[in-house]
Amino acid sequence: MPKVLRADNMNKCLGCFTCMLTCAAVNHNNHNLAKSSIKVKTRGGLQSKFAATVCVACKEPACAEVCPTNALVKRPGGGVRLIEEKCIACEKCVSACIVGSIHMDYDRKIPIVCKHCGACVRMCPHNCLSMEEVRE
């Protein structure tokens, strides 16, 4: 059964950014937080909790629908998979994402899209993230 990433325990988050560093390292061979598909930030102010922006694994992903080259294809369980060689860096997927979880890697000229691989979940020291089984 396919799994999707969920950020359902962010009240436990201390802002260590381990999830972001893991995502960038595992999926993009880079230790730059900007290369992560999960974005953790404060909800505002110095004393507030943290929030995570993650792909919500749409069943009918708008990002894939607007892609003129079919570089984004539906993945089992929701969300998309990127076929890098088809991408022309038009950025239509960035503006189409309903939660703002897609952003561009301007160095590689491709969108950074969550693969729902679970690497961030395994490395989070506070169990803020989870992988949820979903039906297709």
Query: 83 φ, ψ to 5°?
Result: -105, 95
Q: Are residues 3 and 116 in contact, defined by beta-carbon separation less than 8 angstroms?
A: yes
Mean per-residue pLDDT over the chain, rounded: 96
pLDDT of 18-48, one tens digit each? 999 999 999 999 999 999 999 999 988 777 7
Indicate the pTM of the whole model: 0.92
Q: Are 75 and 2 in contact (CB under 8 A)?
A: yes
pLDDT at 62 over 80: yes
Residues whose CB falls within 8 Å of the CB of residue 47, separated by 6 or more in sequence, listed in order: none
Three-state DSSP at 132 gives: strand
pLDDT tens, residue by residue, 93-111: 999 999 999 999 999 999 9
> In the chain, how many H helices and how many E strands?
4, 8
Give percent above pLDDT 90 in the chain: 93
Residue with tokens 């949820």: 132
pLDDT at 136: 74
Res 111: pLDDT: 98
- CB-based contacts of 49: which residues, under 8 Å, 6+ apart? 10, 11, 13, 42, 43
